[in-house]
Amino acid sequence: MTRPHVIRTGILDVNTVIVPLDDKKCFVVDPAACALRGDESKIVDYLRAQNLDCLAIVLTHSHFDHIMGIAPVKNAFPNAQIAIHEAEFSELTNPPGPMGRAVLSFFGMQDFLREVSNQPSAERALKDGEDFFGWKVIHTPGHTPGSICLYNQNDGLLISGDTIFERGGYGRTDMAGGNEAQLLLSLELLRKTIPEGTPVYQGHGAPCFSYSRF
């Protein structure tokens, strides 16, 4: 088993996850590299250096810091399908949607609107429970309505986005689209689904930590 590779990218240091597949294929989760950070080629440079063909671009949610590097990857790999959960698909149709605009305003980052608006629209709406290249889509709303985790049961790995963080942390719910009650239910779902000690690739911070049912 080849483990995912994490590249820290973008203006808020997002953990972009490169997920290897068979035959030098891969998909990219949460590409954040952008001109505003000066790292817009970082993801594509890595993929080309490793001779990887990107089949898909997956978003764990549509917050601006996780999506600002879609365009460079899509431009380099035009057949890579842009995928996000169906509950947030409209946010990536000519982004940003209403929630995205409200979040930019919340952070006082309206100056980033042009960069977000330059990102291409989503092409595939993911559904809870579907298999995505061997990874199960787990709908975990709360941080945003369409937040997801990706779980590879065979390899025992979880990609969590901003749903859970190490040391019992979890995504904030005080922004547009956030819902504390929903997030607590999502955390309970993960407790029932994810075994203790599972390596978790989180959205920010250390690239990987060991899951604990906090």
Cα of first residue to Cα of last residue in the chain, in angstroms, is 28
The amino acid at 110: Q
Q: What is the mean pLDDT of residues 137-157?
A: 98
Tens of pLDDT, residue by residue over 79-90, are 999 999 999 999
CB 150 within 8 A of CB 158: yes
Tell me which DSSP letter residue 95 carries.
S
Give the model's pLDDT for residue 213.
74
Helices (H), the chain: 42-49, 64-67, 70-76, 98-106, 113-117, 180-193
Q: Is it the case that residue 2 has pLDDT exceeding 90?
A: no
Tens of pLDDT, residue by residue over 184-206, are 999 999 999 999 999 999 999 99
C-alpha 61/C-alpha 139 separation (Å) is: 10
C-alpha 195/C-alpha 108 separation (Å) is: 39
Backbone conformation region of residue 207, classed left if phi is above 0, alpha if psi is from -120 to 50, else beta: alpha
**Band of the pLDDT at 111, cuts 50, 70, 90?**
confident
Tell me which DSSP letter residue 164 carries.
B
Structure pTM?
A: 0.97
Beta pairing partners, 7: 16
